[in-house]
Amino acid sequence: MAKKTVTFGEIMLRLAPEGYYRFVQAESYGATYGGGEANVSVSLANYGLESSFVTKLPAHEIGQAGVNSLRRFGVDTSHIVRGGSRVGIYFLEKGASQRPSKVIYDRAGSSIAEAVKADFNWDEIFEGADWFHFTGITPALGDNVAEICLEACKKAKEKGITVSCDLNYRNKLWSKEKAGEVMGELCKYVDVCIANEEDAGDVFGIKAADTDVTSGKVNHEGYKDVAKQLADRFGFKKVAITLRESLSANDNNWAAMLYTDGAYYFSKKYTMHIVDRVGGGDSFGAGLIYACLNDMGAQDTIEFAVAASCLKHSIEGDFNQVSVDEVKKLAGGDASGRVQR
């Protein structure tokens, strides 16, 4: 029987100009859906797991379109609460060369941002679940949503469900001080912590020595210390950190590290030419969750997660639309991109 995963967060309407047009040039926008935890749920459904996404969406057609975007991949939407008046929106302008990508949020007052604890029956939602995942974006939506996250984490621990959290700091949603305070409480219930090369510093003030992410300089030894400090402070069983070296908006080097049982495991490094980087971290988290639930060894786990995320950077939209076999093939060393016949 397939393992069951539950994620909780906001799914948003993504509006993006065609190609590399800037906002001020755009005459039309492509409309798709995505969001941290929703992206994870889609990946896990694609990998054959039972994958449930929990949120609150309006009952109108734009909300229904968001639900439908998940259903087409086999995500369980039966615990999505309907109510409120709006779907959060984000506008995406793709960067190119030395021009960075830009995101503008229009999410204030969304249904999930105005949700209350009574909207969600976690005993029912967690029935038969093996894994619960959320990101730092969700509690940043408001104190009320942070309280819902905390209630979910406590209930998951009570039921013996593994809890993972991607720190995912967003400075447009809250301050570093507020993030540190709220996430510090939530992380008491987390087993597996996922972060990028900056999150631990932004949220908890734990920084990697001799590292400058802006210039693309990432120090492996520094991140060993970051992972150990995080694990020591919160008792995490695993800490996974993605290591992105930005050469330009289009070209990045991509790798990651896993800290577990006192040992450090580094993945191979990929040089990526980026089609769409949104959801790159989420696809990494989903790969990590899948590997853990399938009892892969530590080195195989980090290789699978990084390969999954590497492939996501080649796919338009928030969702990582790849199979387990495709990920394993890349993780196993076939990075040629040659036509498969």
The pLDDT value recorded for residue 336 is 67
Domains of the chain: 4-331 (3.40.1190.20)
Buried b (16+ CB within 10 A) or exposed e, 93-111: bbbeeeeebeeeeebeebb
Query: Of 231, 233, 234, 277, nearest to 257 (Cα)?
Result: 231
Residues 6+ apart with CB under 8 A from 39: 279, 282, 283, 286, 318, 319, 320
Q: How far apart are CA 126 and CA 29, in angstroms?
A: 37
Determine phi and psi for 136, rounding to 5 degrees.
Answer: -70, -10
Residue 8 DSSP label: E
Q: How far apart are CA 28 and CA 111, in angstroms?
A: 26
CA distances, 24 to each of 83, 93, 121 (Å): 34, 10, 44
Find out whether 272 and 242 touch, Cβ atoms under 8 Å: no
Please give the structure tokens belonging to residue 6: 């539950």
Find out whether 302 and 262 touch, Cβ atoms under 8 Å: no
- Residue type (1 letter), 180: G
Q: How far apart are CA 305 and CA 282, in angstroms?
A: 10
The pTM (predicted TM-score) of the whole model is: 0.95
Find out whether 190 and 163 touch, Cβ atoms under 8 Å: yes
- Residue type (1 letter), 78: S
HEC readout, 255-317 = EEEEEECCEEEECCCEEEECCCCCCHHHHHHHHHHHHHHCCCCHHHHHHHHHHHHHHHCCCCC
Q: How far apart are CA 159 and CA 237, in angstroms?
A: 17
Q: How far apart are CA 65 and CA 324, in angstroms?
A: 27
Q: Is 35 left (phi over 0), alpha (psi -120 to 50) or beta?
A: left
pLDDT tens digit at each of 341 positions of the chain:
789 999 999 999 999 999 999 999 999 999 999 999 999 999 999 999 999 999 999 999 999 999 999 999 999 999 999 999 999 999 999 999 999 999 999 999 999 999 999 999 999 999 999 999 999 999 999 999 999 999 999 999 999 999 999 999 999 899 999 999 999 999 999 999 999 888 998 999 988 776 665 556 677 888 899 999 999 999 999 999 999 988 999 999 999 999 999 999 999 999 999 999 999 999 999 999 999 999 999 999 999 999 999 999 999 999 999 999 999 999 998 766 665 65
